[in-house]
Structure 1
Amino acid sequence: MKKIYRIKDNKEFQYVFKHGKSFANRQLVLYYIEKPRQEHFRIGLSVGKKIGNAVMRNRIKRYLRQAFLELEGCIKPTKDIIIIARHPTRQMNFHEVKKSLVHLLSKERLLLKK
C-alpha cells in the first residue's frame, strides 16, 4: 500500500479515536472521520499482541491491506479509517476478512454506490 494511503502517526490515530465515529462486528472494529480536504482515503491498522505472535499479526495486516487494495475504487475518498482486529480474525482466511471489512464499510456507508 502506498504511503499516501497510510496513517502511521500516533497523534493521527488518537485524533480519529477521540473525534471519529466507530462501528464494530465480531471480528473487526472500525473508526473513521471525515476529512473534506483530502483527495484519497487513508487507513491505519492495529493488531494487538493478544491476537498472536508476530507472524499471525502480520498475516492479518497483510489480509486487511490487500482487502483495501481491492476495494480502493469503492471507498469514499474523504475518510480516515482505522481498523482494529479482534481475536476471531486469527482463524479467518483472506476472503472472510474481506467480507467482514465490506460488511463494516457498507453498514457505515463508506462505500461508493455502484
Structure 2
Amino acid sequence: METKRLKFPKKWRLKLRKDFKGLVQFGEAVQDEFFVIIYRKNGLEYSRFGISIKKKFGKAVKRNRARRWIKECVRQNISFIPQGYDFLVITRKRFSELFEKLNYYKCCEDLLELLKRVNNEKNSTINH
C-alpha cells in the first residue's frame, strides 16, 4: 500500500524578498502572546505564508520544530484560513520561553485563533 506524502505546497510559500518587504511595509498586523501575523491582500486565489523565527528562539532543532508545527497547522486547516492573502507569521519571545511546555495542538489553536481575527477584521472593514 502506497502512502501519499503530505506536503506544504510550494505555491503556499512566500519566497521573494520583495514579497516580504511589501508585506512588512504595507501589511496590517494582529498579535497575541505567541505570534504576530502580518497580512496583506495578494491578488491570488490562494494564500501564501512566510515564517520568521529569530535565532534567539533557540538552536536549529527547536526553530525547525516550531516551523514544522506552524506549517502543519496551516496545511491541515487551510479551509478555515482566508484566501487571497500573504501572511508572515513571526514568533514572539513568550513562545520560545514556553515552547518546551507547549504541544502542537496548543500552538495550532493559538495560531488559528489569530487567523480567525484576521478574517473578522477583514469583514469588519468591508461592512463599515
User: TM-score normalised to the size of structure 2?
Assistant: 0.80
The more displaced of 62-71 and 9-18 is 9-18
Per-residue deviation, 1:87: 2.2
Structure possessing the higher radius of gyration over alpha carbons:
2
* CA RMSD in angstroms, aligned pairs only: 1.2
From 9, 29, 33, the equivalent of 1:26 is 33
Does structure 1 residue 72 correspond to structure 2 residue 104? no
Larger fraction in helix: 2
Residues 21 and 31 in structure 1, CA contact (< 8 A), matched pair in contact too:
yes
From 97, 111, 117, the equivalent of 1:101 is 111
Deviation track 1:19-47 (CA, whole Å, cap 9, x = no partner) reads 110111010000000123x0111000001
User: Quick one: which amino acid aligns to residue 117 of structure 2?
Assistant: K
The more displaced of 88-97 and 3-12 is 88-97
Secondary structure of the corresponding residue to residue 79 of structure 2: helix
Note the residue ranges of structure 1 that are not aligned, 5 or more in a row.
Answer: none
Percent of matched pairs sharing the same residue: 27
Residues 7 and 43 in structure 1, CA contact (< 8 A), matched pair in contact too:
yes
Residues 81 and 116 in structure 2, CA contact (< 8 A), matched pair in contact too:
no
1:6-25 → structure 2 map (5 Å cutoff):
6-25=13-32
Residues 45 and 82 in structure 1, CA contact (< 8 A), matched pair in contact too:
yes
